[in-house]
Amino acid sequence: MRTILTLLTVTCLVTGCSNQASNTETAGSDTGRSQAESDSKSESAKTSPETSTSEQTAAASTDSKPLVIDVRTQAEWDEGHLDIATHIPLDQITNRIVEVAPNKDQKVYLHCRSGGRSGQAKVELEGLGFTNVENVGGLEDARARFESGND
């Protein structure tokens, strides 16, 4: 049931649905999309090279992959990161977390370079009502945990 709700939420986020879908018809609106078109867009979010990392992670969150968020800077991310990770810098975490974790009970793993910033991010997310957040520590700790399949 939880997976279905997450999938529906992700589909709404990806397709841009709104409460006014039936009441307001505007030129260029996506509200008239068929379910097949929505499913197609959701599927392309998993495979399209033009899809943002957050959209890929949102689509992946319906799979069994863990949600791993790297809160380091862009420069640190560019130097190397986990393939499974989503990049949301610490200074953006409170504004962007819903892009990848619309369910506040979803398990979220955080890491940075050494564990300090991911600890700050954990406190911020818990302040927003997230209930299942873990500070994995630094990049090497995250590598040891997720690249060896020990999640």
Phi (first) and psi of residue 27, to 5 degrees: -60, 135
Give mean pLDDT, residues 95-101.
Answer: 96
If phi > 0 it is left, if psi is from -120 to 50 it is alpha, else beta; for residue 18 that is: beta
Flag whether 58 is in a domain. Answer: yes
Confidence band, pLDDT 50/70/90 cuts, at residue 65: confident
108: its two tokens? 């979220």
Flag whether 134 is in a domain. Answer: yes
CATH number of the domain at 73, please: 3.40.250.10
Q: What is the pLDDT of residues 35-45, one digit of tens each?
A: 444 444 444 33
Q: What is the pLDDT of residues 4-43, one digit of tens each?
A: 545 445 444 444 443 333 333 333 434 343 444 444 444 4
Flag whether 142 is in a domain. Answer: yes
What average pLDDT does the chain have? Answer: 73
Structural domain for 94, as ranges = 2-146
Q: How many domains does the chain have?
A: 1
Flag whether 151 is in a domain. Answer: no
Residue 2: per-residue pLDDT: 53
Residue 116: per-residue pLDDT: 98
- Cβ-Cβ contacts under 8 Å for 80 (sequence gap 6 or more): 139
